[in-house]
Structures are given as C-alpha cells and as structure tokens.
Chain A
C-alpha cells in the first residue's frame, strides 16, 4: 500500500539557515510527488511537484526538492529560510488509479526563529 513518512514532526531553524525537510514514500509504480504548505488557519498550497525528468524540481519561494528513486525519498530544501516560512509542510504521493487521491504524510511543523 502507498504511504508517506515524514519522520520529523517539528523542525526549528534560525532565520537565514538552510533547511531540509525529509519525506520518504512507499509506492510500487512511478510516483507523482508533491509538497504542500499550510499556513495557520489556511488551506494547503502547492509548493512543487514531480512527475518525471530532472529529479531536482524547483518550486515557489526558493524551495526545491530532489527525487531519489533508489532511496524512495523526496526531501524538500531551501538555502536560506525566512521567518515567513514558518508553517506546516506536507509531502504527498498520488495514489494513481481512477481516484487521483493524494496520500499525505503527517506533516512537519517548521518554526523559524529570528
């Protein structure tokens, strides 16, 4: 069965530091992978997505992620975080088939300290 694991429930970094949020997935076929961000009291917004091709995908606001098939990982990175990046980040994989549903990880809460 498909699943997504985000091993870090909470990450705290200082403003200006680099960031990596980890995501590992379990999927038997070719995965469609997504990172979403949720700001307080808001819905989820897409940061980036991977379907095929270049394993490093660029997203909004300086975020990028790298698909590593051999490791079943899709970690999110940012070179220098800003306080406004504080939010909950969700990794998701498309379940495929006829539903189009997304399988979400439990999310990682990012707190950026000034």
Chain B
C-alpha cells in the first residue's frame, strides 16, 4: 500500500511568520507534488519535483518555496505567511509522470491569522 504522510496535520500561523509543511513518502516514487485546496478552486499545483535536490514551479508558486532533500521527503515553505495562504495543503507522489496514479497524503489544514 502506497504511503504518503504529512506533518503537521493542522497548524495555526501568524501573518508574516515562517511555516514549513513536511511530506514523507515510502513508495520509492520519483515524483512528488504539493497542491493547495480551496473552496471554489479545487486543487491547484504549487510545486513539484521529479528528483532529489531539484524542484519545479507549478501553477501557483508565488509566496511558496519547496525543498526536496531526498527522494522520500518534500517540504513546502511559506517564508512570510499571509492570510490568503489559509487553505488545505496536500502532498502527493507518483512513480511516473502523467499515466501513473498519484497517491495523496491526508492533508495539512493551515490557518493564517
């Protein structure tokens, strides 16, 4: 069974503070993704990575950085959190681009006050 875990599961942050969301996968997958879920927008891709030590911008990268220190770990970093970044964040992994199933983590609920 594919496994993607995220931490923390929920977080309250202050505006202007730094937030780091972590994702860990035990699937031995090369591809990892960070999505954001908002009411009325579905899921949108923030950053993705297809190899360790390399990240790529997705559709809505502004205000976010990503880090892929190893194949298993992929972090999303909000250097200066803003109210508009309140959302649910999902990490996913897949074995190959396009065709393969993406396996999602349980999500992190982020509230920025």
Are B107 and A43 interface neighbours, CB within 8 A? yes
Known: A43-B106, A44-B90, A99-B56. A32 touches B98 (CB 8 A): yes
Are A90 and B101 interface neighbours, CB within 8 A? no
A75 to B43, CA, bound (A): 19
Most chain B CB neighbours (cut-off 10 Å) among A43, A49, A105: A43
| A-B interface contact total, Cβ < 8 Å | 66
Are A100 and B42 interface neighbours, CB within 8 A? no
A99 to B99, CA, bound (A): 11
Min C-beta distance of B105 to chain A, whole Å: 5
Min C-beta distance of A84 to chain B, whole Å: 19
B102 CB within 8 Å of chain A? yes
Known: A44-B104, A51-B99. A101 touches B90 (CB 8 A): no
Q: B residues bordering A, Cβ < 8 Å?
A: 4, 31, 33, 40-45, 48, 50, 56, 58-59, 90, 92, 94, 96-107
26 residue pairs from A and B, CB less than 8 Å apart: A32-B98, A34-B101, A42-B107, A43-B4, A43-B105, A43-B107, A45-B104, A51-B99, A90-B42, A96-B98, A99-B56, A99-B58, A99-B97, A100-B31, A100-B50, A100-B94, A100-B96, A100-B97, A100-B100, A101-B48, A101-B58, A104-B42, A104-B43, A104-B44, A106-B40, A107-B42
